[in-house]
Amino acid sequence: MLTNLNVKNIALITSLDVNFNQGLNILSGETGAGKSIIIDSLSFVLGKRADKSLIRYGENSASVTAVFENINVNTQNLLNEYDIEAEDELILKRTMTLDGKNTCSINGQRVTLAMLKDVASTLADIYSQHENVTALNSQFHLNIIDKYGEDSINKYIGIQKNLYSEYREICKKLDKYGSLHDVNKNIDLLEYQINEIVDADLQDGEEEELIALRHKLNNSQLIISTLNESYNALNGDESENILSILSFLISNLAKIREYDASIDGIIERLDSCKIELKDLAYTLENMAQSNDFSMQEYERCEERLMLIRGLKRKYGNSIEEIKKNLKEMQEEYDFLSDGEEKVKEYEAQKQELIKKLYKNTQILSQERKKVGKLLADNIQSELKKLGMNSCKFETNFSPLPSIDEFTPSPNGSDEAIFMFSANAGQPVKELSKVISGGELSRFMLAMKKIIANLDGISTMVFDEIDTGISGKIAQIVAQKMYDISKDKQVLAITHLPQLASMADTHYLIQKSTTNGQTITKLVCLNENDQIEELSRLIGGQDTSEYAIPHAKEMLDFAKKYKN
């Protein structure tokens, strides 16, 4: 059960620390005092969706801590799964900042919001007015039936999910192959693509070499003329070429060598230069001759580059990527080669699974109808205890499709709708179309009472469950709420004095202004304070002459009922 709630900087609350007790905990207060803030705070720490507008104005962050004791087996199993230690108590904490960051912890251990929500769902159940919309949804109706009959229904839901899982695996395998026609078509396409790449015989670095060759061929005239000019400068027909000049220098210096011994060294160096330059001239001459432009080679280069560009458009941005894709295509080709036999095998398995799924869907539907009838009888019985003596309540199931129209699903093919009539002699109609606000509140209370013990949740929270009811019905609802609280801890926000008088512990939500700041706080009432609050709920302070005696009478009646 919830033993403590600590709230910091949520809406009008700066700091609130309140202890809750076993039994029926009632929260009441003036309109606008901040009753919804308490529920919002509890919902926040239990993992419900929240936004930063909850943070108190002027603050950067808000946090809520909830302490639970005597946790149930379902909670303990989930904690073991998440490797979280818990002994005497369980502490949930959630913090939110203005920049939208959420921090969650369980017993001081950081957890994700999803983990916090999972654990919290086994601890407390909050019913608020917005759940009325959910209660009218047909999917909610089916979920309630499954929950109520889980001992018999879960077996077939388990079978359904296992069969559906096998069915999906077979479908995935078939999707890889497609139909028999697709298999053959894909094999033909892959064979063409593989042959196109293999026949091209692409080489690593080939494209770069071809681009360089094309550049060279495009500039072959400039290359040849430059080489010839360079050769002629070294050893051309003209007498002014470099080698002729060197020969002149050598023969001219030889005339004076007998007069200066150092001339021999100069002649040797010039002769060495002449030999080197002759070799260079020979090299340039050969290069010029070998660089003759070849149209055939140019066309071959262009055709090869066009082939590579075409393959890149189809199979990859580079030769390396094309080769990688070729390997994948060859693997897929090998995979599809035995595709025809595999498709036939998987199709047979798929049809067999559809038959099994359909058969189990029928059995599951029969079980749901049995449980739906029992649930309807019990809800109708509870509604009559809540003053709806002439009501009728039924569960209606849509017909199952034929096997030819059957679409496999993990949850069967049932659509359940709650049917309701509040008055004798009136046929039942869809709950969503005929139930009033007060009737819906009693319906939710009846349903919560019936399923309360199914999930092991020890704390139930009701946010103005009494909307739309008054008088004698309000008294019946109050007694029913107290009956629930004998087995469960109940927290209830109410404006009904009948329900408030049944409180084991009564809290008053107050709003005040201090230093220009509005603050909400929670006060645990003693018996005298409770009488005053009941008198306010009955008729306000102006009618205290009869309201206070009436409040005392209501408390006396509540004590007698409890005893």
- What per-residue confidence (pLDDT) applies to 2? 95
pLDDT at 41 over 70: yes
Residue 540 pLDDT level (bands cut at 50, 70, 90)? low
pLDDT at 237 over 90: no
- What per-residue confidence (pLDDT) applies to 135? 66
- What per-residue confidence (pLDDT) applies to 472? 83
Q: What tokens does 355 get? A: 């038959």
Q: Which amino acid is at 390?
A: S
Q: Which amino acid is at 260?
A: D
- One DSSP character per residue, 437-473 reads HHHHHHHHHHHHHHHTTTS---EEEEESTTTT--HHH
- What per-residue confidence (pLDDT) applies to 343? 80
Q: Which of 357-361, 433-437, 487-491 has the lowest mean pLDDT?
A: 433-437
Residue 291 pLDDT level (bands cut at 50, 70, 90)? low
pLDDT at 559 over 80: yes
- Using one digit for the tens of pLDDT, what is the confidence trace for 541-551? 555 678 888 98
Residue 132 pLDDT level (bands cut at 50, 70, 90)? low
| Sign of the torsion formed by the C-alpha atoms of 551, 557, 560 and 562 | negative
- CA dihedral 308→314→317→320, nearest 10 degrees, is -70
- One DSSP character per residue, 229-271 reads HHHHHHH-SSTTSHHHHHHHHHHHHHTTTTT-TTHHHHHHHHH
Contact 557, 503 (CB under 8 A): no
- What per-residue confidence (pLDDT) applies to 181? 64
Residue 293 pLDDT level (bands cut at 50, 70, 90)? low
Q: What Rg do the C-alpha atoms of the chain give, in angstroms?
A: 45
> Residue-wise over 291-313: b if at least 16 C-beta within 10 A, else e?
beeeeeebeebeebbeebeebbe
pLDDT at 266 over 80: yes
**Helix, strand or coil for residue 519?**
strand
**Helix, strand or coil for residue 341?**
helix
Q: pTM, whole model, 2 decimals?
A: 0.64
- Using one digit for the tens of pLDDT, what is the confidence trace for 373-429? 999 999 999 888 888 888 899 999 999 999 999 999 999 999 999 999 988 888 999
Q: Which amino acid is at 561?
A: Y
> Residue-wise over 16-47: b if at least 16 C-beta within 10 A, else e?
bebebebbbbbbbbeeebbbbbbbbbbbbbbb
pLDDT at 370 over 90: yes
Mean pLDDT comparison of 211-215, 227-231, 457-461, highest-scoring range: 457-461
Which of the two residues, 275 and 468, has the higher pLDDT score?
275
- What per-residue confidence (pLDDT) applies to 432? 81
Compute φ and ψ for 179, nearest 5 degrees: -75, 170
Looking only at Cα atoms, what is the longest distance across the chain? 153
Pairing of strands 489-493, 24-29: parallel
* Residue appearing with tokens 């580059």: 305
Tally DSSP H helices, then E strands, for the chain: 20, 15
**Helix, strand or coil for residue 85?**
coil
CB-based contacts of 11, cutoff 8 Å, min separation 6: 34, 37, 40, 54, 56, 520
> Residue-wise over 233-255: b if at least 16 C-beta within 10 A, else e?
ebbbeeeebbbeebeebbeeeee
Q: Which amino acid is at 82?
A: Y
Q: Which residues pair with 430 in a beta bridge?
A: 419
Question: Terminal CA-to-CA distance of the chain, rounded, Å?
Answer: 23
Q: Which amino acid is at 251?
A: S
Domains observed in the chain: 1-136+458-525 (3.40.50.300)
**Percentage, residues of the chain above pLDDT 70:** 92
**Helix, strand or coil for residue 10?**
strand
Q: Mean pLDDT for the chain? A: 85
